[in-house]
Structure 1
Amino acid sequence: MEFLFIELQKNNQPLYEQIYEQVRNKIADNELQPGDKLPSKRKLANFLEVSQTTIELAYAQLHAEGYIRSEARRGFFVEQIDELTPVSAPVALTETEETQKLPYLYDFSPGTIDTSEFPFATWRKYAKEIIDESYQDLLQLGHPQGDAELRSEIAHYIAHSRGVQCTPEQIIIGSGTEQLMALLLRMLGEQSLFAIENPGYLQMHPVFEHHHHPIVPIDVDQDGMIVEQLIQSEATAAFVTPSHQFPTGAVLSASRKAALLNWAYARKERFIIEDDYDSEFRYSGRPIPSLKSLDQHGKVIYMSTFSKAFMPSLRMAYMVLPPTLYETFKYDVIQYAATVPRFDQHIVARFMQNGHFARHLNRMRTVYKRKMQAVIETLDTFSPTLTFFGEHAGMHVMIQLDDDRSETQLVSLAKQQNIRIVGISQYYVQRAEQRPTFLLGFGGIPNEQIPKAIHSLLTCWEL
């Protein structure tokens, strides 16, 4: 294909986004067929009279979402995307308390954040205003789903940032994704069988175990959860991190998103739980669309948290229930009291309402992007002994060593030097043998210390 007709508008939308959206729509509408070759970046740039960088950004976003593939020395080709079919209406390893309290010299765990940029002055201002006699009603129990003010702000935020269309009434606020998942387990019933990503979010395993719910591990590759395995299982619910798989960093491809939604649409009792835990931190291209934004039949339960975007200690998460499940919640589960203090809810609502939350996110996105660049530049010097991936989003990268030693041995060597590093084995229910692989979190390490911290880690490994 030599040319591709795209109509560019002079408006506030970046040109690469216009190109990306129009090519994506042509693929979805079958104007571009699987296997069709796209024009080269140079030819399309000349045809549209834009820079090659603009075309590169558009193609990169299409590639990241699985709409096109790249073949070396051949170019870009349209991927096979399944059409959405219409329908009628084991024990996880945990760290001991003693381990958690060790004063590490460098902590590469993926759960840490940068606390130096937190807007303490603004937080203190709102806290002082709310802790006043005029707000004495906040001493009473609030709505079981969370206060209306915060739910309204969340609905507005996820509509604009993640394309999730919902009413505040569909939102439930809870003290972490684990607590919200416990509510979901009750709503979905004892007969539910949950599929989880393997590797996947470590803290979710004990929730299923405590409630005596069996789980089915589904493998993950570079395109996210392998939906073919899910289809072959007897699972009725799937817990996924499609926009930035934890811990591998994979993005669920467009083809697999369609297949996953079709799997849910095929049976009334099937649902997908989308954990969109750190969607705010993507460093190249536009954000990956949420799976919920593609859901046509109310089969995706959207879940997110303020832990990465704000602070882990806030213990505040939220989920959006489809209308059918919300009816179940109203009549069966709503007697539970809200688990997040109302004062905290109102402070966060003020932050969001007055624009401070958006400004904080923009500031932290810049901070973490600089940290990611420092990580990549440092790791590049150790190639090919060390390879890394997952560097386009989030607050950690995966590193893999060409080494005969085990992850346990290497974690122990790092610990002897007062360095904390987590191996990927902790996040598996079942794992095939592979080279030592680790999560290199950088959120809590000052930017200027990142090169020294990485060198200290790799020196203790004698790399």
Structure 2
Amino acid sequence: MSLTDQTRQGAVFDQLRRGILSGTLPANARLPPTRALAEELGVARQTVVLAYERLAAEGYVRARTGSGTFVTADLPDAAPAPKNLPPPGPARLSCRGAALAAIPATARPGGISAGLLAAGVPAPELFPAQAWARCSARTLATGLQDFARYPDPQGYAPLRAQIAAHLAATRGLLAEPEQIVVTAGTQQALAVAAELLLDPGDAAWVEDPGYIAGRGALRAAGAALVGVPSGAEGLDVAAGSALAPQARLALVAPSHATPLGGALPIGQRLALLDWAAREKAWVLEDDCDAEFRWEGRPLPPLATLDRGGRVIYCGTFSKTLAPALRLGFAVLPAPLVEPFVRLRTLADRGTGELGQAVLAEFMRQGLLGPHVRRMRTEYMRRRAALLGALDRFCPALMPLATPGGLHLVLRLPPELEETRVVRAAHARDLAVAPLGAYFLGRPRLAGLVVGFAATPAPRAAEAARGLAAALRAA
């Protein structure tokens, strides 16, 4: 049956069903013969026959051999038509559900998350589509039946082995494949870890300003968030110890804090690990944007210094490949692996294994490293182009030092209101984010977070001119 035939059959069914429910076709009323109704409506007789059969299957009519088709007698005499139903009211949620639904879920605040100047978004045109397609074809050729079963909730074993080798070669982090759990991005890793390690009301350190979606994961687990000042040298460990010395957990991005880009120096890293060991607290390390550092040498993960088994290292392929893949991972201390896997299994039974297998093949062929190097070169070009265009068209905006990542932070002059500037920018389809949204408490700075990765160098001037117009309009 063609799509048009299906549509016509559905229209006949809906029209008759509405007539029955509204009482226009009362109980025991005889429906027209299928041939006559088909001629009247200008459709094929088979279309009406199928509509009648569907009405009978759903209990609206009954066919009597030799007599015709009749409306079922036991339907209500005056059932209300669906179009007359009042609009649904707000969903009745549990107290916990209402609290969870109120948590901001987006990592890119401000209303729009795609387009010119979108922060934290990789360039879709740089995705290695042809190589990925070849790896996908090779993977499927090994046997589709292998991917028709439930996946291993810990993750596809060959991918975990490739991740372990990749971390050793690029981040200096030595981990066994048995310590690695493949997740649906960093966000799931943070959420499962928070549920596993926190009781409602437990204090948890978060960088302030910091990663919005990460804070949401801790809030969803019932944590009492403690905003610890974060600046050019990342999270202030001494301030955290003063604010909540017995916190249960700390969420940090020691190599590149969001959004200001601060990195924890070695003294602060050791102090953080000492605090965790002393208080038997946990450290969730979000190694975001580690591949994209523009100034200085890449910093090793905090987990490389961990001797007490207090650090859970979280990584993702969202920035290096594509966020739509939903592939990330957690490197866990050995005692946490089994409970972590059991807990995540309650939610999703594991990450899709076909995508994992394609990524494992992509990495096995040695394609990830060259791809990341190409991205790094192109992003450096786009970053320089945007900085040059902003200097030319938006001299009032002061770029703050951001030695890594896929965005810039631009400080606003005091006479401009952040909210008005963001609104004016969005009206021009510029996906800037307000810096104030990244603060847990009262913002200490007013500014904009602007991405450059998804803004091609030839369009940098266009983006900067649009932002200049937004500044004038604000």
Give TM-score, length-normalised by structure 2.
0.72
Q: Number of matched residues?
A: 369
Partner of 1:115: 124
For residues 305 and 93 of structure 1, the distance between their equivalents in structure 2, rounded to whole angstroms, comes to 18
| Gap runs ≥5 in structure 2 | 1-101
- Cα contact 2:118–2:430 (8 A) shared by 1: no
Match of 1:178 among 177, 182, 187: 187
The reply to whether residue 295 of structure 1 matches residue 306 of structure 2 is yes
Give matches, 1:7-86, under 5 Å: none
Q: Deviations over 1:415-455 (max 9, x none)?
A: 22232211111112102453x31111011111111122112
Mapped to 1, the partners of 2:405 and 2:109 lie a distance apart of 26
Deviations 1:153-173 (A, max 9, x none): 000001111111110000011
Q: Is the aligned partner of 1:250 residue 2:262?
A: yes
Structure 2 match to 1:28: none
Q: Note closer, same or farther for the CA distance 1:150–1:221 as it changes in structure 2 (3 Å cut).
A: same
Q: Is the 8 Å Cα contact of residues 108 and 433 (structure 2) preserved in structure 1?
A: no
Amino acid aligned to 2:149: Q
Per-residue deviation at 1:137? Answer: 1.5
Unpaired runs of 5+ in structure 1? 1-89
Structure (1/2) with the larger helix percentage: 2
Q: Which moved more, 1:180-189 or 1:272-281?
A: 180-189
**Does the residue aligned with 2:118 lie in a helix, a strand or coil?**
coil
Superposition misfits of 4+ residues, deviation over 6 angstroms: 95-98, 330-336
Closer, same or farther in 2 for the Cα pair 1:381/1:107, shift >3 Å? Answer: closer
Does the Cα contact within 8 Å between 1:141 and 1:337 map onto a contact in 2? no
- 1:253-332 equivalences under 5 Å are 253-268=265-280, 270-326=281-337, 328-329=339-340
Q: Which residue of 1 aligns with 2:197?
A: 188
Q: Is the 8 A contact 1:292 1:300 kept in 2?
A: yes
Contact 1:424 1:437 in 2 (8 A): yes
**C-alpha contact 1:199 1:247 (8 A) present in aligned 2:** yes
Conservation of the 8 A alpha-carbon contact between 1:244 and 1:393: yes
Taking structure 1 as reference, are residues 210 and 336 closer, same or farther at Cα in structure 2, changes over 3 Å only? closer
Residue in 2 that maps onto 1:364: 375
Which of 146, 160, 165 matches 1:151?
160
Deviation at 1:129, TM superposition (A): 2.7
The match for 1:43 is: none
SS in 2 for 1:116: helix
In 1: Cα distance, 2:434 partner to 2:178 partner: 40
Partners of 1:109 and 1:440 within 8 A in 2: yes
CA separation in 1, counterparts of 2:357 and 2:396? 50
User: Is the 2:153–2:351 Cα contact (8 Å) retained in structure 1?
Assistant: no
The answer for the alignment partner of 1:241 in structure 2 is 253
Q: Are the aligned partners of 1:144 and 1:335 in contact in 2 as well (CA < 8 Å)? A: no
- Candidates 137, 152, 156, aligned match of 1:128: 137
SS in 1 for 2:174: coil
CA distance in 1 between counterparts of 2:334 and 2:278 reads 18
Tell me the residue number matched to 1:49: none
Which residue of 2 is the match for residue 85 of structure 1?
A: none
State the Cα RMSD in Å: 2.6
| Aligned-pair CA distance for 1:256 | 1.1
Deviates more, 1:153-162 or 1:135-144: 135-144
Aligned residues with identical type, % of pairs: 30
* Match of residue 464, structure 2, among 450, 454, 458: 454
Picking from 219, 225, 231, the partner of 1:221 is 231
> In the TM superposition, what is the alpha-carbon distance from 1:133 to its structure 2 partner?
7.1
Question: Does the Cα contact within 8 Å between 2:164 and 2:177 map onto a contact in 1?
Answer: yes
Deviates more, 1:328-337 or 1:176-185: 328-337
Look at both structures and tell me which one has the larger radius of gyration over its CA atoms. Answer: 2
After TM superposition, the score normalised by the length of structure 1 is: 0.74
